[in-house]
Each structure stands twice: as structure tokens, then as C-alpha cells.
Amino acid sequence: MKLTNRSKVVSKKEMTLAEKIYIPAIVKGMGITLKHAFQKNKTISYPEEKRVFAKVWRGQHVLKRDDEGRERCTACGLCAVACPAEAITMTAAERTKEEKHLYREEKYASKYEIDMLRCIFCGLCEEACPKSAIYLTDRLVNTETNRGSFVYGKDKLVEDMDQRIDISDRQKKSYKQPE
């Protein structure tokens, strides 16, 4: 019984003389090899050479701070809900009076983690965030030697005010997500 209607009838016709001696097929194969042998090499010598990524490249996330250095994230959890890979986890905490200079909202993420092995860099967390707190950047996720190191916490995700990350291209109204 057929499981699908995608079956293909295979012809059992006799091979021609040219097919039997294989020479035309060998010549054709050598032609393809020679064509590629003289093409420009597409590989690069990383890390000495680096590829230029498109502006819309989606790499490692950043949790943004505002211009006063306060964390924008309010631990609403919308990014985690939107994430199809269930890569984001967080713990919410309440800001104290003394912490007003650290967090923009009354609620903040005391713990925020992204499992980079689960992440598929789709950018849905960025789109879901109502506080413009999370963006995907042009940074690459580092290679690691154990799985646990791929769970990035706030120490790796929150923006460093001395090395701010420019995501202005993504914030422009004209910006369109790549298809």
C-alpha cells in the first residue's frame, strides 16, 4: 500500500553505449571539477579575516540600558512567552528606593538567562519586548567547551555603559525584519 502519492516510476531502459563506457560522464565530472578549481576561493582565514555581516544580522542578545545607565528590562516575561525555543528564563524582583538609579521600572529582572544552545536567533523576543530592552546584535556567541557555559546570564547580556552597543538601525521606523 502507498503511504504517499510521491512515488516515482523508475525507468529500466537499456543503457546506451556512451553510458556503458562511462567516459562522457567522467569528462562531464572533470569539467565541473575544473570549473570550481579556477573559481575565487570562498573560504576566509578566520579569525584574521572577518566577514562583513548584513546590518540585520541577528547574533548575541543585549539587554539595553537607558541613557542614564538604568536597565530597561522590567521582567514582564513577554520575551520568554514569545520565544519558540523556550530559551529565556527570568526571575522578577521589586526595585527599592535606593536602586532607582539601577533600574528604570519598579520591577526588574534579578536573574535573566538565555540558553544560547536553544536559541534559534529568530528575533521574536526583540519584537515582543514593550520596553525596547532586548535586541539581537552583530556579536557572535563564543564557542565553549561545556554546555552549561552557553547559558548566558545578566553578566554577559546587560549592556556595558563603557562599550555601548549601537542598535539604532533596528530602531529606525524604516527597518524591516529580514524575510
Q: Which residues bind ligand SF4 (CB under 6 A)?
A: 73-79, 82-85, 87-88, 90, 114, 119-125, 128-129, 131, 133-134
CB of 126 to ligand SF4, least distance (A): 7
Annotation-wise, does 83 bind a ligand? yes
Query: DSSP secondary structure string, 21-86?
Result: H-HHHHHHHHHHHHHHHTSPP----TTTS-PPPPTT---SEEE-B-TTS-B------HHHHH-TT-
Annotation-wise, does 15 bind a ligand? no
Quick one: which of 121, 22, 132 has its CA closest to 70?
A: 132
Annotation-wise, does 156 bind a ligand? no
CB of 38 to ligand SF4, least distance (A): 40
Is the Cβ of residue 78 or residue 167 nearer to ligand SF4 in the bound state?
78
CB of 98 to ligand SF4, least distance (A): 22
Which residue(s) pair with 112 in the sheet? 90
Amino acid in the structure at residue 162: D
Annotation-wise, does 160 bind a ligand? no
Q: DSSP letter at 102?
A: T
Helix (H) or strand (E) holding 110: strand 107-115
Residues marked as binding for [4Fe-4S] cluster? 73, 76, 79, 83, 119, 122, 125, 129
Residues marked as binding? 73, 76, 79, 83, 119, 122, 125, 129
